[in-house]
Amino acid sequence: MTMPARLPEPYGRDGGGANLADILERVLDKGIVIAGDIRINLLDIELLTVKLRLVVASVDRAKEMGIDWWEHDPELSTRARSDQLTRENHELRERLAALEALEAGRGQHEEEDR
């Protein structure tokens, strides 16, 4: 019985396979979608349904696909947070002006009643 001189190399070390960096680069460049549903039923009554959708892609690739929610989330983007604060500030100023106008109108009616 003859034994090989050495054992085969693990996956990716013989030069023919892809290493982790190559695989990651390819996945981020092309993107990958993983989708699945989990349903929990009891006596043919649906108790819970969880729909999972996972997209793995680079930021540039995601933007090409029209996915850019992180740019509008105030928790993840300082620009979105600033935009949200500016919008809230504008709304509060409008409400304050409306209340001041209402109070001024109420004061005029009180003077006329005297």
Helices (H) and strands (E) in the chain, counts: 3, 2
Q: What is the pLDDT of residues 67-109, one digit of tens each?
A: 777 777 777 777 767 778 888 999 999 999 999 998 888 877 6
Q: How far is CA 36 from CA 6, 51, 54, 56, 72, in A?
A: 43, 6, 9, 15, 26
d(CA 3, CA 26): 38
The closest of 13, 47, 66, 55 to 31, measured between CA atoms, is 55
Instruction: Tell me, yes or no, if the pTM score tops 0.85.
Output: no
**Tokens 């349904």 identify what position?**
49
The answer to whether the CB of 46 falls within 8 A of the CB of 39 is yes
